Structure 1
Amino acid sequence: MLVPTNRKQGWFSREKENMLFIHVPKCGGKFVEKAFEPWIRKCPSRRIAEAAGHLTWREYNSVFGKHDIDIAAMTSFAVVRNPWDWHVSWFHYIRQDEGGLLSGHAIEATLFQAFSFTDYIAWLEDDDAPASPQNYIKSQLKDFLTDENGEIAVSHILRQETLNEDLRALAVKLDLAIHIGDRRINTSQREGYRKYYSDQDCERIALRHRDDLDLFGYTF
């Protein structure tokens, strides 16, 4: 189901060519982008070089402001994911990314070759551990979605766990014709995420993502 936000929906335009997809890494973003073509291609984020990549709402706001684009007038949406599952996905994605060519995390791609999943959790908590400039993995999900006051600024938040259903609901709400594929892009064939966690590691992620758990109601 769609997650409600604390922003007034009336602040956002329903114009079909004024949409912003905030792509939280490892949350089914490529699947979403494919479904919402050609609408997403018309977003300013596709023609402004500074807006490329996995920007947060605050970063988009800053970049768009330099180009006299009002982000508050846009219909923005994003996808979130269970934090415990999110980290299992990150660990395997980067570990399998030889040289970090796809992820852009070359340092982590090398480090994780010798890591167990518990080692990965310990690395997350070590602020002095070697890491690539991107800080995606060590962020909370809410960091992508909040304004300068820490308030949710995205008008629609979908869940990776119910993505097909949420996309259909959003398309109906925005009166958009979209094509939703039969399966996700880059969907993992791994077993359930719970098998990777000890009790201690589970608690570490719970503490790390306490704001996400409060906002989105995820449980282990």
Structure 2
Amino acid sequence: MLVPKDTRRSFFRREKKNILFLHVPKCGGSFVEQAFLPWIRKCPSRRLRDARGHLTYREYSEVFDRHRVDLSAMHVFTVVRNPWDWHVSWFHYLKEDRGRGRSGMPTEVELFQSFDFSDYLRWLADDEAPTSPTRYIRKQQLDYLTDANGRLAVHRVLRQERLAEDLAKMTADLHLAVTVPESRANQSSHGHYRQYYDDFGIDLIAQRHKDDIKTFGYSF
């Protein structure tokens, strides 16, 4: 998306900054998009049909190449989240979808209607369990953010746990004319993530997200 760099006009137009928000699902996307309205609507990730959804950095590279969009010229940022909290959020989000289709994960939505969180963890532990083609939950967050050589490809990683503060710092550093919202959109109503886990669940997420934990320093 092209965002005004500051509020001062140059001779004919405002100076612009080319930015891509790489949206890891269930990581503060509504809050970030609220801050970047209306410019986010013009972002290639919105305008190009095959760039919509929760694409990985590698998928964006392929799509943008087809459309002659220069990803290397963009300042790419993202938001990550504690993996144990991430899975609690996924579980409640999909249970509450109830056929409305907003998740794009019909297999999980149908399954999870009868699940409690312990059922969800057993499903997650089974790599042969039914899942939707997107396999969003089966990825680590880092999988969304690496290039073809497995290197972290985004310029800036914000944290869900301090999102307003991190986003305000980023917009100040880049001199963007963006107003960070005062309150979070789509705040979760469920309890603290730690209350959902026993030893099995703690260890399961630690193993499945070992790269996230190592890279971003999260702990239970």
The verdict on a shared fold, with TM-score over 0.5 as the criterion, is yes
**8 A contact 1:16–1:39 mirrored in 2:** no
| CA–CA distance in structure 2, aligned partners of residues 49 and 115 of structure 1 | 34
CA contact (8 A) 1:58 1:147 kept: yes
Cα distance in 1 between the residues matched to 2:129 and 2:139:
15
Pairing 1:58-69 to 2, within 5 Å after superposition:
58-69=58-69
Provide the secondary structure at the position in 2 that maps to 1:79: strand
Q: CA deviation at 1:108?
A: 1.0
The one-letter amino acid of 1:158's match is L
State the Cα distance separating 1:43 from its structure 2 match: 2.1
Q: What one-letter code is carried by the residue in structure 1 that aligns with 2:85?
A: D
**Aligned partner letter, 1:137:** I
1:97 offset after TM fit, Å? Answer: 0.8
Name 1:178's counterpart in structure 2.
178
Q: How does 1:14-29 map to 2 (within 5 A)?
A: 16-29=16-29
Match of 2:204 in 1: 204
Post-superposition CA distance 1:78-105 (Å, at most 9, x none): 0000000000000011011102511111
Q: In the TM superposition, what is the alpha-carbon distance from 1:127 to its structure 2 partner? A: 2.0
- Equivalent position amino acid for 1:143 in 2: D
Structure 1 residue 17 displacement after superposition: 4.1
Task: Tell me what 2:8 maps to.
Answer: none
What's the counterpart of residue 11 of structure 1?
A: none
1:12 counterpart residue number: none
Contact 1:19 1:40 in 2 (8 A): no
Equivalent residue for 2:81? 81
Q: Which amino acid aligns with 1:138?
A: R
Q: Aligned ranges for residues 14-163 of structure 1 at < 5 Å?
A: 16-99=16-99, 101-163=101-163
Q: Which amino acid aligns with 2:106?
A: A
SS at match of 1:69: coil
Q: Which has the larger radius of gyration?
A: 2
Please give the alpha-carbon distance, in whole angstroms, between the structure 2 residues aligned to 1:111 and 1:132.
11
The answer for the alignment partner of 2:167 in structure 1 is: 167
Length-normalised TM-score, structure 2? 0.90
How far is the alpha carbon of 1:70 from its aligned partner? 1.9
Partner of 1:9: none
TM-score (norm 1): 0.90
Q: How many residue pairs were aligned? A: 206
SS in structure 2 of the partner of residue 19 of structure 1: strand
In 2: Cα distance, 1:67 partner to 1:113 partner: 40
User: By how many angstroms is 1:215 displaced?
Assistant: 0.3
